[in-house]
Each structure stands twice: as C-alpha cells, then as structure tokens.
Structure 1
Amino acid sequence: MENSNALILLRKELHQHPEVSGEEIHTAKRVLSFLENYPPDEVITEIGKTGLIAIYKGKKTGKTVLFRCELDALPIEETNVFGHRSLNNGVSHKCGHDGHMAILCGLAAELYHNKPESGTVILLFQPAEEDGSGAQKVLLDTKFASIQPDYVFALHNLPGFPMHQIVVKNETFSCAVNSIIIKLKGKTSHAGEPGKGINPALAIAAIISEFNTIIQSDITKENYCLITAIYTKMGSKAYGVSAGAGEIHFTVRSDSNSQMRRIELTLENLAQSIAKKHKLTCKTSWTQGFQANENDKTAVTFIKKAATINGFDLLEKDKPFTWGEDFGLFTQHYPGAMFGLGAGINTAALHNPDYDFPDEIITTGVSVFHQISKQITNAH
C-alpha cells in the first residue's frame, strides 16, 4: 500500500488549510498535486465549480465504479493546539473530510500501481457537502454527463465506534434532512394599540407548538420525524411598536425520502393555515436539503465482503444515522451505498471544535475501497 506516512502528511496539510463549501479551490489543487505522483488516465477539474475527478481505466471494457469523498470544511473555530491545527481562522475540518480525501488519494495510488483488469474506477472529490449543494452541482455539471457509474460508494468516519470497524446497513443509512424557513407578514402598530396592527407572535407560538405535536423522535419506531427549532426573529427593539413581521426556521429529519415529502407538505400546510387564522401572509421556503442515503443491497454485499477479506470487524446497524449526507443524491440516481468507518470510541464527536480525524484509519478506508473496486473491475 502507498506509504501511509505520505497519506498522513497529506491529511495534516489538508487539515491546516481548510476551506468552506464552494470555496475549495486550494484544497482541490493540493489533491491534484498529490495525484500527479500517480497520474490518472483522465482528470476533470472544476466539476461542480471546485470539484475534481480522477479516472483510472482498466485494460478491457467492463463495469464503472465511482468512489466519492468531500473537499469542504466547516465554519467552526478549532480548539486543538497540535502542530497541524487550522491556519484559517473560524474554519476547520471538523467532519473529517481531510481524512476522507487522504483515503481516496491512497486509493488513487493503489489503482495506479495495480490497474483494474476491466472497467473504470472514478474518484470524485466533491465540493460543498456540508451545505447540501455539492452533489447536485456535480450531477448537473455537463462534464459529469459522460460518466455513467454502475455503482457508487462513499464512507464516513464514525467517532464513538471502535477504530477500524466497518458499519453497514441495508436501505436507509443516513436520514433525509431539510430546513424550512417560514416568513410571516402582518402590520405594525403602536404597542399601546396592538389591535390596530397584526402581530405575528401568537402565530409563531402556534407554529412551534403544532410542529411539536408531529415529532416522533424514536428512530426505532415507524414514522420517525424530528423537528428542531433553529432560529426566530420578530419585530425590532422599538418598544413603542407592536411587531408586524417575523420568521422562524426549523430543521426536519426523516428516515426515508418518501416520508420526508409527506412531512414537508404537512408542515407547509400547517404554517399556511395558522397564518391565515391570524390574518398574516405566509411564505415558506426550504434550504440545505439532504436526500436520505438509501443503500442498495448488492452494494452493501460488496462492502461486507471487502471488510471480511481484510479481516475488519463488521457491524450491521439496524437503524439509520440521524444526520444528513448529500451522497444520498447519488444513491437516488445509481445503485450504491455509504458505509461507516469506526474512528475510535473516545474520538471527539463530529462537528465538535476539538475533533480531529484519526490517521490510523486512513489505510483501513483505502483497503476497503480498493477491495470493493477489485470485486467490480475483476482485478486480482
């Protein structure tokens, strides 16, 4: 396997220079300069604006498999003080995308040294996963039109799970997530004569309490639905004025894409009817939507076999993860699967300011991805 020290150095370098969603220009350049040591047969740059694709072709025609990682970091100030801490204020790799990139670069090295026998292996370094826009940007890019994968795969590191453990699940792996913005418009008036205006306060209160009745927060039961109030704003700090407008935002989670569509409609209708009752106009919109990752059974079988061949501990999870991941858009278009890679029981949680990707699991990820690619491209 590619010298793991080189992959660790790359990972730490990526960690030091994080970039937020849609701005990963230097991150993509760093990855590209690493790949120049293991030249792909074809490179596509600026896919989905800042993304990158490396293609390794087999000697004969055959199946095409795509592996995807993410380029972006989060707008979180790092609290770690180690040598490779983030040099960009207020931005850091708190989801481990630096590690995911290192894994895909390690896979590139393996594919360069051991060409697939047949078919094609595509490595996608995808931008803007964190805000839910990147997968769509890549899929809509005309440069992606020529790529028709038979299977798509991705992994995510999992703090709280034993290091090197491979976590698999058939059907929904990660939840559908969408965020609703509800804007209410009434009429301002004197605070001493609120009856002469239309204040949105009671409507906001009613929306919060009505939405609350729809929550079913136990993911082990059917109709899982989590609704979290995120932000609200009403009126202004002018104490003689009764507020005439307000807005409220929620994130919504469900364990299937079809169930999510139903919930979205229910919430929109509820907000509209409450607004109408309080004589307010209401505008609803959605932002940062993530499709549920719905894993294909055959793809999951490839992962299980790859883990077993490599002697890694395998966990079959019975319930989905509650976070969203925009790879779900790929699994809607192509058969594929996302799996988890244990990052250690005591590793800080994802999105925490003290999180850091554990370098020990880079080669684990490379081994599983490479073994999957061998199964699909008949390489031995």
Structure 2
Amino acid sequence: MEDEKLNVLLAQIRKELHEYPELSGKEYNTQKRIYDFLNKHTKSKVSKIAGTGLIAVFEGDEKYKTIMLRADIDALPIQEVNSFLHKSKVEGVSHKCGHDGHTTIMLGVAKKIADKPVKRGTIILLFQPSEENGMGAKAVLQDDFFKKISIDYVFSLHNLPGFIKHEIVIKKQEFTSNVKSIIVKLKGRTAHAAEPEKGFNPAMAIGELINFSNENTYNNPESEKFFLITLVHILLGEKAYGISAGYGEVHLTIRSWSTDLMKKKSGELIKFINQLIKKYSLEIEIVWLEEFYANVNNDKAVDIIENAAKQNTLTINKVNTPFKWGEDFGLFTQKFKGAMFGLGAGIETPALHNPDYDFPDEITITGVNMFYSILTKI
C-alpha cells in the first residue's frame, strides 16, 4: 500500500518533468522542482552543485560508509511526436532518454529514506545535470564538495527499452562504452570549378578519411577488440556550381570497450589525418568533444546489486557484452568503486532517443526499491 501511494505521487512529478524538459546546462526549472520536492518530503541537507544540479545528503545515526546514488536530469534536442496529455510543452526538446524517470526514481528514494531512515552511514543523492553532452560528471567532480569528501561506493541505473519490464540487467567490468566525438576541419583554397587544379579541394581527403574509418572499424561487440567509428556529418563547399570547394568538415564518433584501445586507435586516426593534410596541401583544425569514459563496474558492487534484486524478487539478466552507448557516470566509476545497472523498460517500448519514447511509470517503484535495498546491503 505504501508503494502504491508513493507510485501515484511519483507518476505525477514524472509527468510534470516530462512536460517541461530542459537541455544540458539549462536545467534551472528542473532543479527548482527537485529542490521543492526534497524540501517538502524530506529533511535532507540540500545543496546546489555544478550549476544546475543538486545533492541531497542524509546522515545516519552511526558512522559508516558514504554511498552516492546518481540520477541524470537533462533532456535532448528532439521533437516529441507523442500526443498524450503530458507531452513536452517545449518545442524541439523532450525527455527521450528517460532522465525524467531517473530523476523521479531518485526523488522516490529520498522520500523512502525520509520515511524509513537508513540508520548508519552517509547517503548522497546526486541529481546530475549535463549528462547528454558529457560535461555533467566532470563539473560535479570539480565542485568543492567532492574535493572534501571520501566516497566508498557509487551506484546508478539506466532504463533499458528492449528488456522485460522490471528485470535487472547486470554485468561485471565494462557496462557501457568509451565514446568520444571528433570534428575534423579541413581548409584548402577555393577555385573555379573549371580550374580545380588552381585550388586545394578537401574532397579527396574526406573520401580517404571515410575509407580509413570503415577499414579500421571492428563492429563486433562480442570481442574485446570492438572498435567503431561512425560518420555522423559531412560539410563540403557550397551549392554553387562554379566553385571548387575550399573547405570541408567531417564529424565522427569513436567507441571501444577498452580505454587503451581507444587511445591507440585515436592516435592512429590523428596520424592518418596529418598525412592527408600534407598530401592535399590543407590546413587542419581538430576538435574533440563529448567524451564519455566506459562504466567499469566493480565486481563487489555488482554483487550488491544482484543481492538487492534477489531481495526484491526481481528477474536478473546477466548480459555478456557492454552497451555501445556512452554514459558519463563512467567518470565516477573510474574514480570510485561502484556500478551501473539496467532496469528493463519493456520489450515493445520505443528505443532510447526515439521521438516516440516515453519512460514507463510502472517501473519507477522498482528502481526506488532497488536503490533502497542497495543501501541496506552494503
């Protein structure tokens, strides 16, 4: 009965968050909604962090370990196509990764701790901004609060469409991929289309770069040598048929399970690009952005998650390969012992980042109870 009442409350706040999504670094109203909920339903110490984020701290009666649970709060620049009553009211912005659901789960954890306090240790609930652009975890760790505190374990979850609702998805070691993006800007010299030899057109260099990317991709998730280069955008010249292009851009994303392989392959890519600019007499500017470190799950932390799932009589799915998408919680698992786990969102639920995706409210209380059980299992 308590869970049913809590679920009704949480469904209401989740739909409100869904209606008013905010992009990375702009989560001001989201921050206020979280703050108001925490002040109304808990006596935790609430502080702003990383600009638009929040932390809620609960102190037990006995000194023990410090555990951090994290939820991401930002939305995506995707136009929603759903027609339900709680559809996004913000043009071109929507919660298509379920961060509204993740935030709501963590609010439920806060309410549950307030109603049934954990007697020992320190619990930190982090409502983290800017996950989608890979900047949030870094900003949090640079905050003075995290420079002064020692954390024993960190945990987070991600909802997973394509998996049975409520099942808990776990994996030791890598759970998500290393991911980073690169923009390669190639500057040559424009010329008349009738006399391309009098200029430096980057088209051939772009063609060779595309071929290099394909040849160096090993898109086999079952292998530890998995390495994927994806072409996401090309810009070349203008729609002016009398001009041979003098400028071009290539945008790529790079993914691997292994951090060492990522460094090695990134170095080979840069070496090849430098050879191209000499070959075609081009100038170059390289911009790296949106870097996500792999979530490397600590074995003991995964065991704690598994025990929490058993306590809640939930189905456990032990996957063999990591997920190919990036998640900046990986920066926390690089620094602290911890783990990310998956929460099944339904076989028929639209995929993450699809314009018709919506977080299923029926799994919210499952996430709440999982996190609460994790706190009692350490």
Greater shift in the superposed pair: 13-22 or 270-279? 270-279
Q: What do residues 148-175 of structure 1 show as CA deviations (whole Å, max 9, x unaligned)?
A: 2100000000001000000000000011
Q: Gapped runs of 5+ residues in structure 2?
A: none
Per mean C-alpha deviation after superposition, the further-off stretch among 319-328 and 186-195 is 186-195
Q: Deviations over 1:8-29 (max 9, x none)?
A: 1111111111101110000011
- Confirm whether residue 36 of structure 1 aligns to residue 42 of structure 2: no
1:263 match: 265
Is the partner of 1:67 in helix, strand or coil?
Answer: strand
Secondary structure class of the residue paired with 1:106: helix
Out of 19, 26, 30, the position equivalent to 1:27 is: 30
**Corresponding position of 2:75:** 73
- 1:37 Cα deviation from its structure 2 partner: 2.5
Q: Which segments of 5 or more consecutive residues in structure 1 lack a partner in the other structure?
A: none
CA RMSD of aligned residues (A): 1.1
- Cross-structure match for 1:284: 286
Q: Note the 1:217-366 alignment, pairs <5 A.
A: 217-366=219-368
1:286 shift after superposition: 0.8
| Aligned partners of 2:25 and 2:52 also within 8 Å | yes
CA contact (8 A) 1:77 1:91 kept: yes
Match of 1:36, SS state, is helix
CA distance in 2, matches of 1:114, 1:57: 13
* Letter paired with 1:266: E
**Separation of aligned partners in 2, 1:90 and 1:237:** 27
Deviates more, 1:34-43 or 1:359-368: 34-43
The aligned residue for residue 100 of structure 1 is 102
The answer on whether the counterparts of 2:224 and 2:258 sit within 8 Å (CA) in structure 1 is no
| CA deviation after TM superposition for structure 1 residue 138, in Å | 0.8
How far off is 1:235 after superposition?
Answer: 1.6
Instruction: Give 2:13's match in structure 1, choosing from 4, 10, 13.
Output: 10
- Displacement of 1:43 after TM fit? 1.1
Q: Is the 8 A contact 2:38 2:46 kept in 1?
A: no
In structure 1, which of residues 192, 211, 214 is the aligned counterpart of residue 213 of structure 2?
Answer: 211
Q: Structure 1: which amino acid aligns with 2:145?
A: K
Alpha carbons 1:52, 1:125 under 8 Å: kept = yes
Query: TM-score, length-normalised on structure 1?
Result: 0.96
> For 1:155-166, what aligned pairs fall within 5 Å after superposition?
155-166=157-168
Q: Which amino acid aligns with 2:147?
A: A
Deviates more, 1:329-338 or 1:240-249: 240-249
Cα deviations across residues 135-156 of structure 1 (Å, max 9, x unaligned)? Answer: 1111112233233210000000
Counterpart residue identity of residue 217, structure 1: N
* Contact kept? 1:40, 1:55, Cα under 8 Å: no
2 CA distance for matches of 1:104 and 1:76?
24
- What letter is aligned with 2:22? E
Deviation at 1:309, TM superposition (A): 0.8
Give the conservation status (yes or no) of the 8 Å contact 1:19–1:72.
yes
- Residue by residue over 1:103-134, the C-alpha shift from the partner in whole angstroms, topping out at 9 and shown as x without a partner, is 10110011112222211110000001111111
Q: Which amino acid aligns with 1:71?
A: I
1:234-263 per-residue CA deviation (whole Å, 9 max, x = no partner) reads 122232221112111111111122221112
- AA of the residue aligned to 1:28: Q
Return the alpha-carbon distance in structure 2 between the equivalents of residues 179 and 40 of structure 1: 42
Q: Is the 8 A contact 1:40 1:54 kept in 2?
A: no
Percent identity over the alignment is: 49
Secondary structure, counterpart of 1:56 in structure 2: strand
Report if aligned partners of 2:259, 2:294 keep a CA contact under 8 Å in 1.
yes
What's the secondary structure of 2:233's corresponding residue?
strand
* Matched residues, number: 375
d(CA) in 2 for partners of 1:288, 1:351: 17
Q: Secondary structure at the match of 2:175?
A: strand
Note if contact 2:38-2:44 (Cα within 8 Å) is conserved in structure 1: no
Whole-Å separation in 2 of the counterparts to 1:192 and 1:340: 57
CA displacement, residues 186-238 of structure 1 (integer Å, 9 cap, x when unaligned): 12222222111111111110110011100001111231011111111112223
In structure 1, C-alpha distance between the alignment counterparts of 2:224 and 2:28, rounded to whole Å: 43
Q: What secondary structure does 2:210 align onto?
A: helix
